[in-house]
Amino acid sequence: MTDPLTPYGNKPMVTPIVNAVNYHYASFEVLRQITDGEIDGYTYHRDDNPTVRAVEKIIAVMEEAEDCVISTTGMAACTMIYLTYLNSGDHLILFHDIYGAHYKVSLILERMGVEVTWLNASDSDHISKYIKPNTKMIFCETPSNPLCKIVDIRKIRKAADLVHALVIVDNTFATPFHQKPLKLGAHLVIHSATKGLGGHNDLMAGAIAGTKERYDDLWFTRQAIGTTLDAYSASLLERGLKTFDMRAEKMSQNALAMAEFLAAQPLVKRVYYPGLPTDPGHEVARRQMHDGFGGVLAFDLGETQEEAKAFINELKLIYHAVSLGATESLICIPYLTTMLYLPEERRTGFGVSPNTIRLSAGIEKTDLLLKDLEQALKKVPQRLAAKA
């Protein structure tokens, strides 16, 4: 029978969106071969889907991994890792300056009997001090969200090897364009593919890349709990990946230009961006990142949140919105958004202030972005005066 997708052998340039929940079996023998893992085949969407699988293969190549598991969101990917590899009584090391939702997940893990230690990025220099015989996992982001702190992945791996713990690196901020955590010693690399990989603010997805063996472990969890991505989002993700390299390059050029510009402004008290030679993470970032330092930066504006809000309210091109890694530049105050639900001491205890601003560079023309920042900065004193 002619395959309707490839009549006369011509193949579609785009992976078709297969919305099927289930597949009618060609025969009992084919069913057996699929379920025994002898052939790649599809039976039920929660197990696997061809549109999703095509994107998994692309991301595996990008991360130089044997395989990749895609999930519904970045947090689903993180949680799948925790559920797959942690048991009651195990010890997990996390870093304060990581995406806020990990705090909530850590509360669930603690309820389930996992012991959690939170460290500062600076503690990573002597991380072996915090390793215990029951340490099973060290999870980090580098650069981190939102302060773009850098941890030395090779050093973390060395310490983890003392007790055969797993090293998991969230590569969302760096993206595979700038950093390959698996090459640096991570056992698994994860992404919120909602961000730079997708890149257009129109899909949510997570991705985990590593060895084939770990793919099997994580596939088991995904199949069990049902965090399989829908085919339409997978297709959008595949489309986003086609322009990923160009976007990542431009985003990091824009981020560096904005970081340099902001660092020279009297109203800006501090800029956090590993691409600046003055940044405490610069030296390590230069060793483990390449072709730039990613598209996200943070900075403290003035002394108060009112000043930070006044600045954001004056921006014309840069959008006041959460998320990052998109075609449009996005700006937000983490204290009021991504970190809102953390206890007060956690929101400020590791360097974030009420007036810290996170800025994710888009792919706009650099001079337009700099002009937007400049005109908004000029108006902050006026705006505050008008309010007073």
Ligand X SMILES: Cc1ncc(COP(=O)(O)O)c(C=O)c1O
Asked about 367 being catalytic, the answer comes back as no
3-state SS class at 105: helix
Nearer to ligand X, 208 or 268 (CB): 208
Among 138, 184, 204, 241, binds ligand X (CB under 6 A): 204
What is the rounded distance in angstroms from the CA atom of residue 358 to the CA atom of residue 51? 34
Task: Determine which one of 67, 90, 152, 170 is catalytic.
Answer: 170
With CB under 6 A as the contact rule, which of the stretches 36-44, 154-162, 167-175, 260-268 interacts with ligand X?
Answer: 167-175
What is the rounded distance in angstroms from the CA atom of residue 273 to the CA atom of residue 230? 35
- Residue numbers 11-40 binding ligand X by CB under 6 A: none
Rama region for 201: left / alpha / beta (φ>0; ψ in -120 to 50; rest)? left
Which residue, 171, 197, 236, 181, is CA-closest to 59?
197
Cα separation values, 47 from 56, 71, 78, 83, 121, Å: 14, 11, 19, 18, 37
99 binds ligand X (CB under 6 A): yes
Among 67, 90, 97, 141, binds ligand X (CB under 6 A): 141
What is the rounded distance in angstroms from the CA atom of residue 163 to the CA atom of residue 299? 37
With CB under 6 A as the contact rule, which of the stretches 45-53, 113-121, 168-176, 243-251 interacts with ligand X?
Answer: 168-176
Asked about 46 being catalytic, the answer comes back as yes
Task: Determine which one of 23, 99, 215, 273 is catalytic.
Answer: 99
Question: Are 274 and 148 spatial neighbours (Cβ–Cβ below 8 Å)?
Answer: yes
With CB under 6 A as the contact rule, which of the stretches 68-76, 84-92, 117-125, 369-377 interacts with ligand X?
Answer: 68-76
What is the rounded distance in angstroms from the CA atom of residue 263 to the CA atom of residue 257? 10
Asked about 67 being catalytic, the answer comes back as no
- Residue numbers 241-280 binding ligand X by CB under 6 A: none
CB of 285 to ligand X, least distance (A): 16
198 binds ligand X (CB under 6 A): no
CB of 103 to ligand X, least distance (A): 12
CA dihedral 283, 368, 175, 270 (to 10 degrees): 40
3-state SS class at 355: coil
With CB under 6 A as the contact rule, which of the stretches 20-28, 51-59, 147-155, 169-177 interacts with ligand X?
Answer: 169-177
75 binds ligand X (CB under 6 A): yes
Residues in CB range of 295: below 8 A, 6 or more apart: 173, 175, 196, 248, 251, 252, 254, 255, 324, 325, 360, 361, 362
Among 15, 51, 145, 353, binds ligand X (CB under 6 A): 145
Cα separation values, 376 from 24, 260, 301, 316, 357, Å: 59, 16, 12, 8, 14
Nearer to ligand X, 75 or 359 (CB): 75
The residues facing 95 across adjacent strands are: 119
How many residues touch ligand X (CB under 6 A)? Answer: 13
Asked about 272 being catalytic, the answer comes back as no
230 binds ligand X (CB under 6 A): no
Among 79, 124, 172, 355, binds ligand X (CB under 6 A): 172
69 binds ligand X (CB under 6 A): no
Task: Determine which one of 149, 180, 195, 222 is catalytic.
Answer: 195
The residues facing 190 across adjacent strands are: 170, 208
What is the rounded distance in angstroms from the CA atom of residue 142 to the CA atom of residue 177? 14
192 binds ligand X (CB under 6 A): yes
Count of all residues that appear for the chain in the document: 388
Nearer to ligand X, 44 or 341 (CB): 341
CB of 177 to ligand X, least distance (A): 15
Nearer to ligand X, 330 or 369 (CB): 330
Binding site for ligand X (CB under 6 A): 73-75, 99, 141, 145, 170, 172-173, 192, 194, 204, 206
The catalytic residue positions are: 46, 99, 170, 195
